[in-house]
Amino acid sequence: MCKFLISLLLIIISVSARSQQIEVPKLIDMLNWTPKRIDTTLKKDGYLLMQKDIDSTSSLYQYSWFDKQVDGKAAVRSFIFADARVRDMKSRLITYRTYIKEEYQEIAAWLLANNYQSTAKFDFKEAQHTLYSNGTFTIRVKVITTALKDGRKFIAYELEMGK
């Protein structure tokens, strides 16, 4: 009975962590959403607004999601979107970051399954950038390694896209 309850709890936690993941198609759609719609959607999914900076020509919103897993590890994600406006021109940049390797692998699989191909690679020592394009849209994928003073390393997986 105890094993059954533990298994059920692990399934619920893993489904909960996965449900907070933002899929690539939704990220692409968010490039056209209003800030209010993005805010409402992210807050509904458990993301917290950490920073909001707005001035006459730009705005920046940063959200974070955190969950401590049963095994003591943490699941962390962040979502940033910035809007800029100059006269009649508008642009939006979205950055989605996860520290979950399996989620990164799912993102990479989605890119391949949806005809995205690597078009350029850049190595900046602690960060490797790869541009993926399907011919009409480009997504930058970053793998960022951060070394702590105690020797531990954290790897972040980041998607960057804009219009």
SS3 content of the chain, % helix, strand, coil (to 5): 30, 45, 25
The pair of three-digit structure tokens given for residue 128, joined into one six-digit string: 């490797």
Cα–Cα distances (Å) from 83 to 73, 77, 96, 135, in that order, read 34, 20, 15, 24
Q: Greater confidence, 124 or 94? A: 94
**Cβ-Cβ contacts under 8 Å for 97 (sequence gap 6 or more):** 77, 78, 79, 80, 156, 157, 158, 159
**pLDDT of 37-75, one tens digit each?**
999 999 999 999 999 999 989 999 999 998 877 777 778
pTM of this structure: 0.82
**pLDDT of 139-163, one tens digit each?**
999 999 998 889 888 899 999 999 9
Q: How confident is the model at residue 11 (pLDDT cuts 50, 70, 90)?
A: very low
Looking at residue 48, its pLDDT comes to 95
Mean pLDDT of the chain: 87
Looking at residue 10, its pLDDT comes to 37
